[in-house]
Amino acid sequence: MPKNAWLGAVVAGLAATTLTAVAPASAQPIALDDRTTVAGTVPSWATPQSRTGDAPDQSVRQIQVALSLRDPASAHALATGLASPNNAERGSFLTSRQFVDRFAPAESTVASVRDWLTGQGVSVEGVSGNRFMVKAHAPTSVLEKTFGTQLATYRDKVAGRVSTLVAPVAPISVPARLKASITAVLGLDDSEKSLRPQHTIPHATTQAQTCARWWGEQNNRDVPQKYPAGAQSNSLCGYTGPSVRAMYGLNAGQSGTGTTIGIVGAYDSTTLAADVNRAAVDTKTPGLAAGQYSKVLPEGGFADEKECDAGGWKFEQTLDVQAAHTIAPAAQLRYYAGKSCIGGLYEAFNKAVEDNVVDVISASWGNADGERRMPPATRDLFNQMALQASIQGQSIMVSSGDAGNNSGAVGTPTASFPATSPYVTAVGGTTVGLGQDNKPKVLTGWENSGNTLSGQHWVPQSDADGPFSGGAGGGPSALYDAPEWQQGVVPASIAGGRRAIPDVSALADSYTGLLIGFTDASGRYGLSSSGGTSLAAPLMAGLAADAQQARGGAQRGGLLTPALYALRSDTSALVDVVPQKAGVWTPVMHALPGAKVPGAEGSYLVDFDARPQNLASGRGWDPVTGVGTPARDFVRALAR
């Protein structure tokens, strides 16, 4: 593939925003002589077969009208130069003002779009600081007239559950004079309902009676020993801070001093600071200092809390903050809250980028049903935001997913977005069994297989994707070509010249997870071993902050993937993860999005990294752990 071919593909996606309109019979009539359609604005799930009716005319919808970059080709070229380890431009990042002046939509463009929307009866609420999005709202009937389409309801599965979703029946259209300005309209469809936090759901306290504090401390010998001595253990109780820091060779001085970590999610746990400080005693980590944690909440409060499972998002927020704080206990922490899971996450992510206050951004969420779930124009908007972050020097860590290749939920293997974006570091997962001395007894890729005890035999569990019971997302993108830094590294037999994920990995298996303290909706506080690539992403964010501290605190890392791939042969920086025959006994199976497991208490054995789908770790780059997992000198090496 020609050098930087991946840039051309992404530029084409951002720049090719309109086509000549031909109205289908199902759409409302539009004037073809002065309007043009915006390509990629109908999600793949909005099919005639799944349509159930029309969206209510008077229901009010919040929208974000996305505007295009000026000179996207130059922006992509600059981002590449800033990230390349051998480029003279590396590290010469722009301020947010410099980025806006050079690449953001012109103020005259924003004014034209605002005037047009207002003239159509759409209420404009404001414009984002980087001029990427115009926030507005209007009844469905007004939006249909404004964008020359019809909104309908559809039945489809989201993360395995049947839901009713709204989407346009045909591509939206805009005045021809705005052809080059409007790239997408978020909120006209419900695709963002598929965005889910990527963590293990906290479960019964039964496990606390049998769990091991370190690998092998407890091992139920009343059940068949599938693995030899030292390779089978009870599920771990959850690692404390010192153990996880030892896992990555961190010393007391590596604390993220002088850096700020941003966390993007939905909703807000009002007990977060108290939970972190309460858990600090049990997890042997520092509490939060005065003013160390701050949050940016949406105007007007939150919405759709029941529909979006706000409690799950609040636990995600708590997990992310505690994980990042464990690795970088002196870093400032700033949480950006989305108004809901429907239209709020992209807005919160954009706020973290436009503010340009945080050095590293952790996004522990992704499409529960693969990268094609979002309309192409919406994915292009995320890439545009991530591009700005790269040019400003902000590093983005994204969870690769917890459903392996997603075949259980989707039916066929598919990677998850936004992990496949070329402008993020996709973080996969590992299973790590530390001994009492905090040295690894087990280190392998996180791809779990479940077994149920029947008599004196372990019987593999079976559902849509066999015994799979949770594991890191991975595999080739169907949308993006391989970036330069993956060419010659990712085997063609796996990716076929496409962007492949993950890039790197960190602790993710909840059976060997991090001990997290959380107060639920009923006011009950509890500690549980938690995991998922939702844990791996903020752990990597903390390590990136430690590396920035090692550069002096002010020099950001930007897009880290080129540097990570350059370290792949440095065994002091990265461990090349390979399968290891080992497993844990547990009285309860851990629930994860995209993986079906028994819900009742029983006697279960979880096999590690035994290829339950088509993913497993292996020599060199692999679709579970990427180029590997951080070793003892990772921070020092990344800081170079």
Give the residue-averaged pLDDT of 544-550.
Answer: 98
**Close Cβ partners of 108 (under 8 Å, ≥ 6 residues apart):** none
**DSSP structural state of residue 420:** T
Whether 573 contacts 567, CB under 8 Å: yes
Amino acid found at 146: T
Q: How confident is the model at residue 179 (pLDDT cuts 50, 70, 90)?
A: confident
Residue 618, classed as helix, strand or coil, is: coil
Q: How confident is the model at residue 13 (pLDDT cuts 50, 70, 90)?
A: low
- pLDDT at res. 23: 33
**Of 79-83, 231-235, 384-388, where does mean pLDDT reach its minimum?**
79-83
Amino acid found at 42: V
Examine the pLDDT at 21 and tell me if it is beyond 60. Answer: no
- pLDDT at res. 19: 30
> Which of 98, 177, 178 is closest to 130 using CA atoms?
98
Of the two residues 9 and 383, the one the predictor is more confident about is 383
Whether 387 contacts 79, CB under 8 Å: yes
Q: What is the pLDDT of residues 152-161, one digit of tens each?
A: 999 987 766 7
| pTM greater than 0.85 (yes/no) | yes
Q: Is the C-alpha dihedral spanning 81, 87, 91, 94 positive or negative?
A: negative
Whether 602 contacts 594, CB under 8 Å: no
Quote the tokens at residue 50.
């799944």
Give the residue-averaged pLDDT of 558-574.
Answer: 96
Q: What is the pLDDT of residues 434-491, one digit of tens each?
A: 999 999 999 999 999 999 999 999 999 998 788 999 999 999 999 999 999 999 999 9
Residues forming a β-bridge with 605: 451, 585
- pLDDT at res. 247: 98
The pLDDT mean for the chain works out to: 90
Examine the pLDDT at 63 and tell me if it is beyond 50. Answer: yes
Return the ∠ at Cα 458 (arms to 452 and 461), rounded to 5°.
45
Q: Over pLDDT 90: what percentage of the chain?
A: 77
Distance CA 399, CA 489 (A): 21
Quote the tokens at residue 31.
């004037």
First to last CA, the chain: 29
Examine the pLDDT at 636 and tell me if it is beyond 80. Answer: yes
Quote the tokens at residue 544.
């990136």
- pLDDT at res. 385: 96
> Which of 208, 202, 227, 207 is closest to 216 using CA atoms?
227
Q: At what angle do helices 5-15 and 376-392 cross, to 10 degrees?
A: 120
Q: What is the pLDDT of residues 24-54, one digit of tens each?
A: 333 344 344 589 999 889 988 899 999 999 9
Distance CA 443, CA 430 (A): 7
Structural element, H or E, at residue 61:
strand 60-67
Q: How confident is the model at residue 80 (pLDDT cuts 50, 70, 90)?
A: confident
Of the two residues 265 and 44, the one the predictor is more confident about is 265
Quote the tokens at residue 209.
């009676």
Q: What is the pLDDT of residues 589-628, one digit of tens each?
A: 998 877 889 989 999 999 999 999 999 999 999 999 999 9
Residues forming a β-bridge with 505: 428
Return the ∠ at Cα 407 (arms to 404 and 412), rounded to 5°.
135
Examine the pLDDT at 518 and tell me if it is beyond 60. Answer: yes
Examine the pLDDT at 207 and tell me if it is beyond 90. Answer: no
- pLDDT at res. 635: 98
Q: What is the pLDDT of residues 274-307, one digit of tens each?
A: 999 999 999 999 999 999 999 999 988 998 888 8
